[in-house]
Amino acid sequence: MGAKKVGIVGVGMTVQRSTRRDVSGVELINEAVRAALDDSGMTRKDIDAIVIGNMDHFEGINYVDTWSVDGSGALGKPIMKMTTGGTTGSTVAMGAYYHVASGMFDRVLAIGWEKNSESDTTGAIITAFDPFWDRPTFGGAVAGLALEATQYMAETGATEEDAAYVAVRDRKNAINNPFAHLRMESNIEAIMSTPYLAWPVKLGDMCPRTDGACAVVFASEDIAGDFPNVPAWVHGVADRHLWGYTSDPYVNQHVKGGTWFPAMERATRELYDKVGITDPLEQFDVAELYLPYSFAGLRYMESLGFCERAGGPALVRSGDTDMGGKCPVNPSGGVLSSNAIGATGLLRVAEVALQVQGRAGDRQVPGAKLGLATGFGGCYWSDELVIGKEKPEKARG
């Protein structure tokens, strides 16, 4: 078989800010690309292929793959665009992983970026949904998430304060990350006092809109030893994009045996089976999760198997997901601190890679060996990757 094991050998990210007026989109991309090439000890010439992704309607650029050539370095090289909404960054990571795993390319550059300051984010997100059935009533990402949060609170007894704990945790972690957008010492009262956007979701519960880019170099096992950094290895990937209408995610949740988040639960089951995870809280040393708002940091922990159904609030309040806990979640500050949407999923992958390489600086989880990265988007879709310090025994497809 031609299937190759794949290592991450270089990472580059831009400073994440609400408005990067100092750079154009192409320059923003280039900033991340140069950082990733420097980090992997390579130049543009060494790259065999490129995968790039963002959400078209945020910047209003059609064919971003061909538009971005001056920034991505794709002149005279193979490039393709992959995009799946919020999951774009993780989709790009998986796409680059498969470019290398196929044996067709040895060194592949993955790029995710977004310049949300140039977008009408909610306006663009509403057009993701069906023009006849969904758009007239759908209030955008915040309103959709508020529905999820309302249901979660009603069925589990979780409180707004439980959710606020997650927002406080992630933004405090961001203080250790020089690239993060919102870096702040906060507390539950402060989050509770922010204005409601759509009950029960408050301003302090939501991710920001961010300008930023991330680039990651994936390399084949055949050459993964040729780089200055010890590789971080991709142990497995899985995704599910189950739904297409706004109301789909709520189907079957109320029936006996129904689930919160079928896409995440099914992707998780496949991934954990492949990689051999039975107790994620114990086995993962770190997790970088795409939590677009604070309530996700409760509910998604259940779908990812870190605790039982309705156990999210107790888990996070136990401190197990804090820095110094059993499995710190979002040492980088996560999505609640920085959300340049097309870059966000790829940043999760980059952060876990840095952690298992022991290169995460002030946000390092000591001795991290195995980590989980996720992407969230679309219509409750989930992308998941396990990345580790040790080379996996076999290529897993």
In the complex, which residues of this chain contact other proteins (CB under 8 A)?
A: 1-4, 55-57, 60-63, 65-70, 74-85, 91, 94-95, 98-99, 101-104, 124-125, 127-131, 238-244, 266, 270, 377-379, 395-397
Q: Which is nearer to other proteins, 97 or 165 (CB)?
A: 97
| DSSP 3-state of 217 | strand
Q: Which is nearer to other proteins, 202 or 241 (CB)?
A: 241
Q: Which is nearer to other proteins, 178 or 258 (CB)?
A: 258
Any bridge partners for residue 338, and if so which?
A: none
DSSP assignment letter at 250: G
Looking only at the bridges linking them, the beta strands covering 201-202 and 49-53 are: unpaired
Q: Which is nearer to other proteins, 74 or 219 (CB)?
A: 74
Q: Whole-number minimum distance, CB 195 to other proteins, in Å? A: 26
**Structural contact between residues 351 and 373, judged by C-beta atoms closer than 8 angstroms:** yes
Q: What are the distances in angstroms from CA 54 to CA 28, 213, 326, 380?
A: 13, 10, 33, 18
- The label of the residue with tokens 């991330």 reads 214
Q: Which is nearer to other proteins, 220 or 321 (CB)?
A: 220
User: And the tokens for 5?
Assistant: 């094991």
Q: Whole-number minimum distance, CB 28 to other proteins, in Å? A: 14
Beta-carbon neighbour count of residue 280 at 10 Å? 20
Q: Whole-number minimum distance, CB 339 to other proteins, in Å? A: 16
Q: Whole-number minimum distance, CB 13 to other proteins, in Å? A: 23
Q: Which is nearer to other proteins, 244 or 258 (CB)?
A: 244
Q: Whole-number minimum distance, CB 20 to other proteins, in Å? A: 16
Q: Whole-number minimum distance, CB 323 to other proteins, in Å? A: 33
Q: Whole-number minimum distance, CB 203 to other proteins, in Å? A: 23
Q: Which is nearer to other proteins, 168 or 238 (CB)?
A: 238
Closest Cα partner for 233 from 104, 1, 394?
Answer: 394
What DSSP string runs through 25-53? HHHHHHHHHHHHHHHTT--GGG--EEEEE
Q: Whole-number minimum distance, CB 226 to other proteins, in Å? A: 21
Backbone angles phi, psi at 50, to 5 degrees: -130, 140
**Structural contact between residues 92 and 316, judged by C-beta atoms closer than 8 angstroms:** no
Q: CA–CA separation, 177 vs 334, rounded Å?
A: 10
Q: Which is nearer to other proteins, 273 or 282 (CB)?
A: 273
User: And the tokens for 27?
Assistant: 């320059």
Residue 175 exposed, middle or buried by CB count within 10 Å (0-12, 13-18, 19+): middle
